[in-house]
């Protein structure tokens, strides 16, 4: 029999062993796989005219020193304020233009507060919707109040990001205006990397992101994006597309990447708004060969255990990079980071793209990389076109609807995901060598191949 001291010694050894095994696991789990989102919206400013605006984002620390005109509801008169003080989500302000027409970019971090509260005083107030999306006015808590556009005569049906509005509070009592976040917060609650520290507009035609990584050996970063039109509601958990992969942070842990547009991604001066995420391309918690963030936000595949603790839910120099991972129109900036791949880079699979098919709202002239139709892009209309746009390893998402065509996927190594009830009415065959995985996104899914 072992003595009491021997048993205690064995117990201490077991505890130390468990501790040594646990610490590396905790250090991996504590790594955030994605940043908090940032973005911009573009607002045209007419010549010799004041435009009523609001801030749809949490402004970056150095958001500028421009002077704007705001409304003091207590005294019911105009006052001048610094842009950094006035540009708070929920507040409206006036910006006067010079002699020439121009465009202003409102930039910052997507608002992720669970609720936003603002005190409305009796009389006129200048307000804006305090979240980073459009929303029908009837879905806000202002629906029963006298909300008007900049002219003071028209009641808006949709509150647009970046737009300001007049609000008249009748009576003699102040009112607390409380709004609840209309989209999911699927992002880290802390400020650990990856973090998009800055979004700078260059010449009105390009955007430069400054991204801070963790600075760990072998770290690779990716950038995701999605566009938003003035009346569209933001989805923070879907609709993201990959802009660049295999970004290698510099010695200081940062990298600067420029978005100058690319095939399938319009230049920034051609869209109303664009949102960005930075993600870890070297974290693959479930070992499926697809980075966890890419699987979650781009492909829409849940990866259990891939979220960090505390979270809720460029051109590449190497010509040997996997096909599709070198985005045209994006480039690394001098002064931070490098576009040179490490000697033994982490191998990234080519099948990261998602091609959307929507028979009701799509168009085969679109690239298929956007989940919703907006501006000059959107989903494909036919399954045939969607499969034709997909490369080996890509995911084709077929939206609910009836498709009078064949499901011809012969020779295609693709992943097909069904959303809702889908009927394929034409005759079709998988063909030899096809590898297809279907996932029911609903309890009511029908795929019918009729000879």
pLDDT tens digits along 129-152: 999 999 999 999 987 788 888 877
Q: Are 370 and 378 in contact (CB under 8 A)?
A: yes
> 52 to each of 91, 303, 416, how far by Cα in Å?
11, 43, 46
pLDDT of amino acid 356: 86
User: Residue 184 in contact with residue 236, Cβ under 8 Å?
Assistant: yes
CA 286 to chain centre: 23
**What's the pLDDT at 113?**
96
Encode pLDDT of 74-100 as tens digits. 999 999 988 878 888 999 999 877 666
* Residues forming beta bridges with residue 223, ordered by sequence position: 244, 278
- pLDDT band at 204; cut points 50, 70, 90: confident
The residues spanned by each domain of the chain are 50-96+113-180, 195-332, 354-424
- pLDDT (average), residues 369-398: 80
Round the average pLDDT of the chain to a whole number and report it: 77
pLDDT of residue 324: 29
- Region 430-436 average pLDDT: 34
CA-based end-to-end distance of the chain: 77
- Is pTM beyond 0.75? Reply is no
Cis peptide before 394 (omega within 30 of 0): no
- Measured between alpha carbons, how far is residue 41 from residues 106, 193, 201, 329 in Å? 5, 25, 11, 20
In angstroms, the CA 417 to CA 396 distance is: 6
Residue 33 contacts residue 286 (beta carbons within 8 Å): no
Rama region for 157: left / alpha / beta (φ>0; ψ in -120 to 50; rest):
alpha
Residue 159's pLDDT is what? 95
304: pLDDT strictly greater than 60: no
Q: Which residue would you say has higher pLDDT here, 128 or 372? A: 128
| Higher-confidence position of 422 and 74 | 74
Integer angstrom CA distances of residue 367 from 272, 363, 364: 19, 9, 8
- Residue that wins the pLDDT comparison between 209 and 353: 209
Tokens standing for 59? 């402004």
């Amino acid at each position: 029999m072992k003595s009491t001291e021997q048993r205690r010694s064995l117990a201490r050894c077991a505890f130390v062993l468990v501790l040594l095994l646990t610490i590396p696991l905790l250090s991996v789990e504590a790594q955030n796989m994605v940043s908090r989102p940032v973005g911009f919206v573009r607002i045209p400013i007419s010549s010799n005219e004041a435009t009523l605006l609001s801030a749809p984002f949490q402004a970056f620390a150095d958001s500028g020193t421009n002077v704007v005109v705001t409304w003091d509801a207590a005294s019911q008169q105009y006052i001048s304020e610094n842009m950094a003080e006035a540009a708070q989500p929920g507040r409206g302000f006036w910006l006067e233009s010079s002699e020439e027409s121009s465009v202003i970019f409102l930039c910052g971090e997507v608002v992720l507060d669970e609720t936003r509260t603002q005190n409305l005083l009796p009389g006129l107030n200048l307000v804006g919707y305090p979240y980073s999306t459009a929303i029908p006015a009837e879905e806000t808590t202002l629906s029963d109040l006298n909300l008007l556009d900049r002219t003071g005569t028209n009641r808006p049906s949709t509150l647009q990001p970046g737009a300001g509005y007049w609000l008249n509070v009748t009576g003699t009592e102040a009112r607390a205006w409380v709004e609840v976040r209309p989209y999911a917060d699927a992002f880290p609650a802390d400020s650990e990397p990856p973090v998009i520290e800055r979004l700078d507009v260059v010449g009105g035609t390009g955007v430069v992101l400054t991204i801070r990584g963790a600075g760990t050996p072998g770290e690779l970063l990716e950038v995701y994006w999605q566009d938003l039109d003035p009346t569209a509601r933001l989805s923070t958990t879907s609709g993201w597309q990959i802009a660049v992969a295999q970004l290698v942070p510099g010695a200081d842990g940062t990298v600067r990447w420029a978005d100058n547009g690319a095939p399938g991604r319009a230049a920034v001066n051609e869209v109303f708004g664009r949102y960005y995420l930075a993600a870890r391309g070297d974290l693959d918690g479930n070992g499926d060969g697809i980075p966890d963030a890419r699987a979650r936000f781009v492909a829409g595949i849940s990866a259990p255990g891939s979220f960090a603790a505390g979270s809720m839910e460029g051109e590449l120099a190497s010509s040997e990079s996997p096909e599709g991972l070198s985005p045209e129109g994006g480039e690394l900036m001098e002064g931070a980071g490098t576009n040179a791949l490490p000697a033994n880079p982490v191998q990234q699979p080519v099948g990261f793209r998602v091609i959307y098919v929507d028979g009701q709202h799509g168009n085969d002239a679109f690239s298929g990389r956007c989940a919703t139709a907006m501006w000059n892009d959107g989903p494909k209309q036919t399954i045939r076109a969607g499969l034709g746009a997909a490369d080996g390893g890509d995911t084709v998402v077929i939206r609910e609807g009836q498709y009078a065509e064949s499901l011809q996927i012969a020779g295609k190594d693709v992943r097909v995901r069904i959303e809702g009830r889908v009927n394929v009415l034409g005759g079709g065959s998988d063909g030899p060598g096809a590898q297809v995985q279907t996932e029911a996104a609903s309890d009511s899914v029908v795929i019918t191949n009729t000879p």
